[in-house]
Amino acid sequence: MASAWYLAALLALVLAWPVCLKLSSITFAQTHAPDHISDTQFAAPSAQHWFGTDVHGRDIFSRTLYGAQISLLIGVVGATVSLVIGVLWGSMAGYVGGRIDAVLMRLVDVLYSLPSIIFVIVLMATLGEAAKQTPLMQHSPTLAGALRVALLFVGLGSISWLTMARIVRGQVLTLRSRAFVEACRTLGAGTGRILFRHIIPNIFGVAITYAALTLPGIILYESFLSYLGLGVQPPMASWGTLIAEGVSQINPVRIYWWLIAFPGGILVTTLLALNFLGDGLRDAWDVKGR
Amino acid sequence: MYFLRRLLYAVPLLLLISLLAFVLVHLAPGGPFDRERRPASPEIERNIQAKYHLDEPVWKQYGRYLNGIVHGDLGPSLKYRNHSVTDIIAQGLPVSMTLGGIAFCVALAVGVPLGFFTAAQRGRWPDFLGSFLAVLAVCIPSFVLAPALILVVALKLRWLPVALWESPWHMILPSLALGSFFVGQVARILREAMVTAAQSEFVTAARAKGLGETTLLLKHVLRIALLPVISYSGPMLADLLTGSFIVESIFQIPGIGVFLVNSSLNLDYPVIVGLSLLYAVLLISLNLLVDLAYTFLDPRVKYE
């Protein structure tokens, strides 16, 4: 329960912070704007800058919250993409069965044996390059940034639906021989109607639970890619890029621990909360995990 | 028989993976020579293109590539001139494998006892503490743990070297940073499996015969519960052996993970495809080994 509260508080803060900046006095809004560059480099956490400042004198508290927007958005959309593809794929395979089932699931097996990390790295590198070279993107940086995020949705969604498809297929296999489905078929309902009206609503609890369990994984993947420079591009920030900036400032003379501790701490606690929430959902729905 | 067929299946699978990687990197606009070392004149550019056969259609390049593989040649690197992909692998793989091997040992040496302990103490506070630690280990990404370890252990306390790969002392921090995620995973998988196994009938029967709790857990429950851990350790080992891009780059370790990321960013076609293939071969063969090990460990498992 604590994790749900934590997530709700984080979400509220992330959404409210830009509004707070708008409403507050001009000087406060200026010094705390996530991309406001100032002379106070590497200020340690203080009453003015709660999380300290970075190499360009930007407020890390603000940057962490703005980064959270991107990280959480990608996590939620990525999990939804995997939910939609996984449910459609799995229920098709499970309900129609026969040769279609064999083909669909064999494809899943093949994709499983692909090295997914390498696949995403290559995909993001090549697609990112392609996006950079189109003339439209060179004109409008905002659009380029948005496209980059959309690429992340596609890339991360496309590798995380496999387990979902397997679980859904297993569920559908047990459902399709149940009496109410047979009754429906006898009454002359078509495949589409049975699937969407009767089967999918029944597996929804399981599917949602599993989507909640993939959510932290996708957030982790996103920060991992952004850390490598393949995900979100500056001046946009996500937790991954913030931590990468902190790592690049590691030096033997001065220790700027706040550059890593705060974005990293928020990332870790969010992942923890999501994990606990997913486990709780799983226990509540009694889903047998793989 | 089953394993022969699995081996045969692996061949088209590897072909497919190589084709996919090959086509994917060639679809990207631009080429490996566009960035920093842009050729001086169109003529030189044409010459370079011709030297690496980049002017040929993709299917022809792919055929040439496959022919090279059969002869044990993975092609030249386009970025690191004068290095072939085989050179890069020969140089980086031993380092990555050492690091991964140590991390693998850490994962099992800490993860198995932790999982066993939490399962044995199920429902009591040591279980909650241990399980929390396991989840925490899973939730701390290596790119947070590695800099934290560097800042605290290497820079603040000055106990261990910050980076590089020279003495056994240099290996401690990277293998901890790499292994901790898998420690958590192993512990969680083992605990789950032990809790499930402890509810089966043969355990009740053994208990009814008067077997002590410790012997029961060690000899009967653990044996069954190790199976999922073993099946997880196949992909885990493949992951670890091929190097972690993050840990290698943070600690400046000359493994192959760094090469993969750099070559992806520079569109160094042969290196990308070669390393993807290497990873796929490792993954497939380790999964096969795991399945083989299953037949020995669990006589109930039969493949046909």
CB within 8 Å of B153: residues ≥ 6 apart: B159, B160, B173
**What distance in Å separates the CA atoms of residue B275 and residue B46, rounded to the nearest whole number?**
27
Instruction: Tell me the pLDDT band of B167, cut-offs 50, 70 and 90.
Output: confident
Judged by phi (left if over 0) then psi (alpha if -120 to 50, else beta), residue B158 lies in left
Which tokens go with B236?
């885990």
Q: Judging by beta carbons within 10 Å of its beta carbon (0-12, 13-18, 19+), is residue B293 exposed, middle or buried?
A: middle
Q: Find chain B residues with C-beta within 8 A of A275's C-beta.
A: 135, 138-139
Comparing A100 with B76, the larger pLDDT belongs to A100
Given an 8 Å threshold on Cβ–Cβ distance, is A247 in contact with B143?
yes
Which tokens go with A39?
């002379």
Q: Find chain B residues with C-beta within 8 A of A260's C-beta.
A: 144, 147-148, 151
**Tens of pLDDT along A19-72?**
777 777 666 666 666 666 776 776 677 767 677 777 676 777 778 888 888 888
Best interface-test mutation with A: which of B264, B266, B276, B290 has the largest number of A CBs within 10 A?
Answer: B264
Q: Find chain A residues with C-beta within 8 A of B281's C-beta.
A: none
Q: Compute the nearest-CA separation of B197 from chain A (Å).
A: 14
Given an 8 Å threshold on Cβ–Cβ distance, is B246 in contact with A224?
yes
**What distance in Å separates the CA atoms of residue A249 and residue A54, rounded to the nearest whole number?**
9
Beta bridge partners of B76: B84
SS3 content of chain A, % helix, strand, coil (to 5): 75, 0, 25
Query: Which amino acid is located at B66 in the chain?
Result: L
Percent of chain B with pLDDT over 90: 1
**Tens of pLDDT along A76-125?**
888 888 899 999 898 888 888 888 888 888 888 777 766 677 777 777 77
Q: Compute the nearest-CA separation of A122 from chain B (Å).
A: 6
HSE on the CB side for B122, CA within 13 Å? 15
CB contact at 8 A, B2 and B303? yes
Q: Find chain B residues with C-beta within 8 A of A272's C-beta.
A: 135-136, 139
**Tens of pLDDT along B249-274?**
888 888 887 777 777 777 777 777 78
**What distance in Å separates the CA atoms of residue B107 and residue B100, rounded to the nearest whole number?**
10
Least CB-CB distance to B147: which of A129, A229, A246?
A246
pLDDT at B243 over 70: no
B90 Cβ under 8 Å from any chain A Cβ: no
Instruction: Tell me the pLDDT band of A211, cut-offs 50, 70 and 90.
Output: confident
pLDDT at A290 over 50: no
Q: Judging by beta carbons within 10 Å of its beta carbon (0-12, 13-18, 19+), is residue A157 exposed, middle or buried?
A: buried
Residues in chain B: 304
Summary mean pLDDT of chain B:
78
Comparing A125 with A196, the larger pLDDT belongs to A196
pLDDT at residue A247, as a whole number: 76
Q: What is the DSSP letter of B221?
A: I
CB contact at 8 A, B191 and A279? no
Q: Looking at chain B, which residue has its C-alpha nearest residue A251?
A: B155
Which tokens go with B45?
């550019």
Question: Which of B 236-295 lie inside 8 A of A, CB atoms?
Answer: 238-239, 242, 245-246, 250, 260-261, 264-265, 267, 272, 275-276, 279-280, 283-284, 287
What integer is the mean pLDDT of B186-210? Answer: 85
Query: Which amino acid is located at A144 in the chain?
Result: A
Given an 8 Å threshold on Cβ–Cβ distance, is A247 in contact with B250?
yes
Which tokens go with A123?
């995909």
Measured N-to-C along each axis, helices B142-149 and A258-285 cross at an angle, to the nearest 10 degrees, of 140
Q: Give buried/exposed letters for B128-143 (b at 16+ CB in 10 A, else e).
A: eebbebbbbbbbbbbb
pLDDT at B37 over 60: no
What integer is the mean pLDDT of A156-183? Answer: 84
Given an 8 Å threshold on Cβ–Cβ distance, is A257 in contact with B141?
no
Best interface-test mutation with B: which of A122, A222, A288 has the largest number of B CBs within 10 A?
Answer: A122
CB contact at 8 A, B100 and B241? yes
Comparing B201 with B49, the larger pLDDT belongs to B201
B164 Cβ under 8 Å from any chain A Cβ: no
**Tens of pLDDT along B175-185?**
888 888 889 88
**What distance in Å separates the CA atoms of residue A206 and residue A208, rounded to the nearest whole number?**
6
Which tokens go with B23?
């086509």
Given an 8 Å threshold on Cβ–Cβ distance, is B144 in contact with A240?
no
Beta strands in chain A (DSSP E): none
CB contact at 8 A, A61 and A44? no
Q: What is the DSSP letter of A177?
A: T
pLDDT at B35 over 80: no
**Tens of pLDDT along A244-289?**
877 777 776 677 777 778 888 888 888 888 888 888 887 777 655 4
Best interface-test mutation with A: which of B144, B245, B281 has the largest number of A CBs within 10 A?
Answer: B144
Least CB-CB distance to A268: which of B20, B144, B250?
B144
Given an 8 Å threshold on Cβ–Cβ distance, is B151 in contact with A130?
no
